[in-house]
Amino acid sequence: MPDEQYQEGWPQDQVALPDTSSNWSITKALQDYANPAVTAWTPENSSLNLLFDKPTMADIDWTGEHDPTNTGAAYSPAANSSAKPGWMQLPQPGTLEAGEHGSGYYTYGTDQTGKPGTGPNGQWGEPRAAETIAAVADRLATGKEFTPFGVGNTSLSDGGAFNPHSGHRDGLGIDVRPARLDAAQEPVNYNSNAYDRAATQRLVDAFRATGKVENIFFNDKNIKGVSPWPKHDDHLHVELKR
């Protein structure tokens, strides 16, 4: 049956018919299928847009050449001018949609002033710290390993002294709350009835599985993969490799 008769009566505004022009052939179609056109990479279509906000992406030097005016630091209304070169602020949960890369955690804490609402000021560090947190959040966000967790202090934007911590100056230390049985976004001590030891073990395992962790300090001796340290009954201190 000729194509013209076969196609007659089709709803051509709804059905895509083969290109029967002189430029089309079954051989060419098979070649195009086997060798699809490769879309050139650009910052606009990069998957990094799932992790970093637009100001951060705009601040990255994609040429690979050093630009002393380009710090690589994420935008923040507070203290951005004092941020250490290359550091970024931990993406805040309010800027991430459910299911988005790295959206499975919440944040808590304050900066060195102790004032409510200042937590983000104390959540700066190396980009790999943020990526490690995001990787753990992705692993624990859904399914049978679902483990909501809270991220507290990392470092101040300039790496300065961060009272009451003796450390937290290199952008590689991360405070994390243990898991709770009720999944509430509240503090918990490992001796508390609300403490979820099994979920906390999953949390430790997830951080260890990234291959980026040097030490995890926490005082529950029944948790594998941690070391005891004074004043670490109610939070884990995750120290990344340098």
pLDDT at residue 195 above 90?
A: yes
Structure confidence by residue, pLDDT tens digits, 80-107: 557 889 999 998 876 656 556 666 899 9
**Model pLDDT, residue 14:** 47
pLDDT at residue 75 above 60?
A: no
CB 189 within 8 A of CB 233: yes
pLDDT at residue 6 above 60?
A: no
**Model pLDDT, residue 67:** 39
Structure confidence by residue, pLDDT tens digits, 48-74: 666 666 666 666 545 444 334 333 333
CB 142 within 8 A of CB 148: no
Please state whether 205 falls in left (phi above 0), alpha (psi between -120 and 50) or beta. alpha
**Model pLDDT, residue 203:** 97
Kindly report whether the global pTM for this prediction surpasses the value 0.85: no
Structure confidence by residue, pLDDT tens digits, 167-181: 778 889 999 999 999
Alpha helices by DSSP H, the chain? 3-7, 26-34, 54-59, 127-140, 197-209
pLDDT category of residue 12 using cuts at 50, 70 and 90: very low
Helix axes of 127-140 and 197-209: crossing angle, nearest 10 degrees: 130
Please state whether 211 falls in left (phi above 0), alpha (psi between -120 and 50) or beta. left
Domain containing 226: what range?
3-240
Q: Read off the tokens for 29.
A: 């179609």
**Model pLDDT, residue 124:** 93
Structure confidence by residue, pLDDT tens digits, 121-178: 999 999 999 999 999 998 998 788 889 899 998 888 888 777 777 777 888 999 999 9
Please state whether 213 falls in left (phi above 0), alpha (psi between -120 and 50) or beta. beta
CATH code: domain of residue 221: 3.30.1380
Structure confidence by residue, pLDDT tens digits, 102-124: 668 999 988 888 888 889 999 99
**Model pLDDT, residue 235:** 95
Q: Domain tally for the chain?
A: 1
**Model pLDDT, residue 104:** 80
